[in-house]
Amino acid sequence: MQDGTTARAPGDPLGSAADISVRSVVPEATVARLPVYLRTLRSLEEQGTPTVSSVELASSTGVNPAQLRRDLSYLGSYGTRGVGYPVDDLVAHVSRELGLTQDWPIVIVGVGNLGQALAKYGGFRSRGFRIAGLLDPDPRLLGVSIAGTSVRPVEDLEAVVESDAVSIGLLATPAEVTQAVTDRLVAAGITSILNFAPVVLTVPAGVHVRQVDLSRELQILAFHAQRRQDGSAELGAPEAQVRAG
Amino acid sequence: MQDGTTARAPGDPLGSAADISVRSVVPEATVARLPVYLRTLRSLEEQGTPTVSSVELASSTGVNPAQLRRDLSYLGSYGTRGVGYPVDDLVAHVSRELGLTQDWPIVIVGVGNLGQALAKYGGFRSRGFRIAGLLDPDPRLLGVSIAGTSVRPVEDLEAVVESDAVSIGLLATPAEVTQAVTDRLVAAGITSILNFAPVVLTVPAGVHVRQVDLSRELQILAFHAQRRQDGSAELGAPEAQVRAG
DNA sequence: TCTTGTGAAAGGCTTCACAGCT
DNA sequence: AGCTGTGAAGCCTTTCACAAGA
């Protein structure tokens, strides 16, 4: 639901002769957890911790140890029985798997409140992502410099994507124009989109879309908050601590 | 994975005598889709469309029609065979299920780039969510008015949560302090948290946490972008259009 | 004839439990 | 003795396919 879908031939169970690229298939759910593991692993690396066990790493990332081991086993697994996983190797391995050994230029379309906050957010600038373009149709924003990048007109979209070989686009546009912008991004060659606008996007198969939707998240929380109100009495040990990430 | 956990009695199929609170259990995956359905339904309502079929609604929300019918059936289902679902009733029904018939006061802790963007975001102000407090420790921000609410010191956190009976908190704080702020929110009575900081939070059972993590999303996209690069040739009909929301 | 509601099948993800290696 | 890697079971979610109803 959350991710863009890749069209797949129906039927045809258990790879027939047509199955050329076997690509070890890391499950989507695993991919989504790798960044969380990586964050903890990097901090262990900084502290100079040489190895970590699945129980330790699992507990600090809020997952079940068996799940962690299963996840890492999809990457070809670098652990040693009786010892644990070597932190350095694992950082390198997970980084490579996630494609973080190269730099990813990105474009941000829509430089309103949210677009500006995204541009200023340091978290990704440091880690392999680089802003190749900030695009907005508002003439008052043109040339304004945000976090070291100046805003360009949306007309430049295709030029920027092509000149910098951008494959990732962030959409912080008003809902009404988001599909139109998406179509242009895709036509220009973008294959991965992070959409902040509350719109269901339609894209060609092979283009990946991830959705970040604030009001959706709030509505989901409201659902649970309401449950608490009327349903009241939570079953289950009231003392248990839970991790969520 | 994404949500806080609610303990549930295992086994016991089809409510036995011990089944006191029957609460029809809407699956988490369904709850996460309801806001998407609701958005489309509201726009159909505005246009005055009286009924909608599962095929229509499913196609504009990017899901399978069978899935949509299953989802709505968890809510007790208001459809008519041969006709479809009455838009008005469904809007009311889904809204009620999501807890959107009441107003939810929220607090935002951390009024940096992101916190300000969140405060200014109109999408939730309109729909049942109201900012009860903006909290930040930076003395330069104190009293500054953002989107009609003035920033208060973090010391006021407990006071705000109690006086306005706030049960939802948004965290846009620096990573280092996020767990500490969370502990205070929970102690003050908050039961639902939307966390934007890249940290795995630990909370007591019964508190719901949802995570929105920009760099994680980008890393997931990088994974797929990398696949495209080297794996290259996508299988599957290259013409197919896909919806993602 | 059209569309819902749902058994049943299929698929994917998580967790248990333990064999196997260090 | 300790911890990984993984069969196998269990659970959750999605999808098919069709009976039932308007």
Q: Considering only CB atoms, which chain A residues are within 8 Å of B245? A: 199-201, 211
pLDDT for the residue numbered B179: 98
Residue A233: CB partners within 8 Å, gap ≥ 6?
Answer: B21
Residue B169: other Cβ atoms inside 10 A: 28
CA distance B79 to B95: 16
Using alpha carbons, select from B87, B241, B121 the residue that is nearest to residue A213. B121
* B135-175 tens-digit pLDDT: 999 999 999 999 999 999 999 999 999 999 999 999 999 99
Q: Which of B129, B201, B245 sits opposite A244 (nearest CB)?
A: B201
- The alpha-carbon radius of gyration of chain B (Å, integer) is 21
Q: pLDDT tens digits, residue range B44-67?
A: 999 999 999 999 999 999 999 999
Q: How many CB atoms lie within 10 A of CB A142?
A: 13
Distance CA A70, CA A112 (A): 42
What angle (nearest 5°) sits at the alpha carbon of residue B202, between those of residues B197 and B207?
Answer: 95
Å between B55 CA and C11 C1'?
Answer: 23
Task: Report the C-alpha dihedral over residues A159, B227, A118, A180, rounded to 10 degrees.
Answer: 50
Rounded to whole angstroms, the distance from the CA of residue B69 to the C1' of nucleotide C7 is 14
Largest CA distance in chain B: 63
Instruction: Please state the pTM of the whole predicted model.
Output: 0.90
Query: Which of A199, A202, A210 is the closest to B220 by Cβ?
Result: A210
CA distance B119 to A221: 17
What local confidence, expressed as pLDDT, does residue A91 receive? 97
Q: Which residue has the higher pLDDT, B229 or B47?
A: B47
Q: DSSP for B63-98?
A: S-HHHHHHHHHHTT---BTTTBEEHHHHHHHHHHHH
* Packing angle, helices A65-74 and A28-46, rounded to 10: 100
Name the maximum alpha-carbon separation found in chain A. Answer: 63
| Most confident region among A74-78, B177-181, B227-231 by mean pLDDT | B177-181
Sequence-ordered alpha helix ranges (H) in chain A: 28-46, 54-61, 65-74, 87-98, 113-120, 122-126, 157-163, 175-188, 214-231
pLDDT at res. B4: 35
Q: Which of A171, A209, A212, A173 is nearest to A192 (CA)?
A: A209
Question: b/e string for B221-231 if b means 16 or more Cβ within 10 A?
Answer: bbbbbbbbeee
CB pair distance less than 8 Å for A194 and B218: yes
Q: Residue A209 and residue A183: Cα distance in Å, rounded?
A: 12
pLDDT for the residue numbered A201: 98
Share of chain A above pLDDT 90, in %: 79
- At residue B124 the predicted structure's pLDDT band, cuts being 50, 70 and 90, is confident
**What are the tens digits of pLDDT across the range A180-211?**
999 999 999 999 999 999 999 999 999 999 99
At B78, list the tokens.
């208001």
The DSSP-derived string for B151-195 is EE-GGGHHHHHHHTT--EEEE---HHHHHHHHHHHHHHT--EEEE
Tally Cβ neighbours within 10 Å of residue A95.
Answer: 18
Distance from C-alpha of A242 to C-alpha of B208, rounded to nearest angstrom: 9
CA angle B57, B61, B65 (to 5 degrees): 50
Torsion from C-alpha of A221, A227, A229, A233, nearest 10 degrees: -130
- Nearest Cβ partner for B4 among A23, A34, A242: A242
Q: How far apart are the first and last CA of chain A?
A: 18
How far apart (Å, rounded) are the C-alpha atoms in residues B192 and B203? 10
Q: Best residue in B30, B70, B219, B243 to probe A by mutation, most A CBs within 10 Å?
A: B219
- Cβ of A194 within 8 Å of Cβ of B221? The answer is yes
Where is B36: in which H helix or E strand?
helix B28-46
- At A231 the pLDDT is 64
Q: What is the dihedral of CA B10, B13, B15, B21, to 10 degrees?
A: 30
For residue range A11-46, what is the model confidence (pLDDT) as tens digits? Answer: 233 333 333 344 568 999 999 999 999 999 999 999
**A154 interfaces chain B, CB cutoff of 8 Å:** no
Chain B: closest CA distance from residue A66 (Å): 14
Using the Cα atoms of residue B197, residue B201, residue B204 and residue B208 in order, give the sign of their dihedral: positive
Task: Name which of A180, A232, A7, A218 is nearest B235 in CA terms.
Answer: A7
pLDDT at B238: 52
Chain A residues within an 8 Å CB radius of B209: 244
Which residues 39-98 of B are in CB contact (within 8 Å) with A? 39-40, 60-63, 97-98
The pLDDT value recorded for residue A24 is 66
Q: What is the pLDDT of residues B61-117, one digit of tens each?
A: 999 999 999 999 999 978 999 999 999 999 999 999 999 999 999 999 999 999 999
Is residue A76 scored above 80 in pLDDT?
yes
Amino acid (1-letter code) at residue A164: D
DSSP state of A80: B
Average pLDDT over residues A107-111: 98
Q: What are A130's strand-pairing partners?
A: A105
Question: Bigger pLDDT: B29 or A7?
Answer: B29
Token pair belonging to A53: 């066990």
**Percentage of chain A exceeding pLDDT 70:** 87
CB contact under 8 A, A60 and B219: no
Q: What pLDDT, on the 0 to 100 scale, is given for residue B202? A: 97
Give the nearest nucleotide to B25, CA to C1': D12
Each residue's pLDDT tens digit, A127-159: 799 999 999 999 999 999 999 999 999 999 999
Q: Find out whether A38 and A45 touch, Cβ atoms under 8 Å.
A: no
Q: Which residues of B touch A221 (CB under 8 A)?
A: 168, 192-194, 208, 210
pLDDT of A154:
98
Candidate from B61, B205, B227 with C-beta closest to A242: B205
Q: What's the mean pLDDT in A169-188?
A: 98
Give the separation between CA A208 and CA A170, rounded to whole angstroms. Answer: 12
Give which of A149, A155, A117 is closest to A136, Cα–Cα. A155
Q: Among all strands, which nt has the closest C1' to B57 (CA)?
A: C3
